[in-house]
Amino acid sequence: MKTGTLKQMLLITDGCSNKGEDPVAMAALAQEHGITVNVIGVLENDSIDEKGSMEIEGIARAGGGISQIVYSENLSETVQMVTRKAMTQTLQGVVNRELRQILSKDASLEELPPEQRGEVMDVVDELGETAELQVAVLIDTSASMKFKLPTVKEALLDLSLSLNARTGNNQFSVYIFPGKRADADQLVDWTPKLDALTGVFPKLTAGGITPTGPAIREAIGMFKKKRSLRGLFAGDDDEQILDESM
């Protein structure tokens, strides 16, 4: 099985989008580009209503990812859990596609004999530790997130420590929405360490609307830009992507 790049978005928000493209449609577009979209809804005093919960679930479903609603004090462990669970889910999907090609169109991991299934899961676990991982973190900085941003910072630093223990390479980028002069601003360009947030997070101010769809669209563009630049310098535009061609 060829190794490649696991591409994920991690969207952290506390409510409904109210400007720009439909975020569910943008998540589906991300999935078409081999990017898994995971969503964490941050609660404070049960402040996410039914509409917000449905949007969170819809974005993750369309993006092939995982959604989780959590109280802010439990955010750190949730961010790590969702990211790792999404990696495993993506790899299992790749394995199932390969099994269907090898065995039959209806074959799946669950249908293998227990011993073979265990061997395949060992491979999945190994790939989860060794494959290159790219995570674009999208942070809702609308007015209602004002008192949650310090918790978000702590959660992302914990995520960095957790994932940097992997043997595979990690690359992170961070977006906030709304931006100062646009729907979304890139706060941190691709970097192997999320502790790059330390200097910029204290300068963040929360306020304004929630353009979730445009933020997802912006992040898709940066994944594509990163890939094209890598191809330019390597002389090869055919980078293997786990979601597309393993």
Comparing 65-69, 122-126, 235-239, the range with the smallest average pLDDT is 235-239
Nearest CA to 9 out of 118, 104, 102, 82 is that of 82
What is the C-alpha to C-alpha distance for residues 192 and 201, in angstroms, rounded to an integer?
17
What pLDDT score does 143 carry?
86
What pLDDT score does 232 carry?
43
User: In sequence order, what DSSP letters do the residues of 24-57 get, joined into one string?
Assistant: HHHHHHHHHTT-EEEEEEEESSS---HHHHHHHH
Beta-carbon contacts of 215 under 8 Å, excluding residues fewer than 6 positions away, are 11, 138, 175, 177, 183, 184
Extract the tokens encoding 77.
């462990």
Nearest CA to 82 out of 59, 61, 65 is that of 65
pTM over 0.85: no
Average pLDDT, the chain: 80
Reported as a single tens digit per residue, the pLDDT across 85-137 is 888 887 767 666 666 666 655 666 667 677 776 777 777 677 767 778 899 99
Average pLDDT value for residue range 202-217: 86
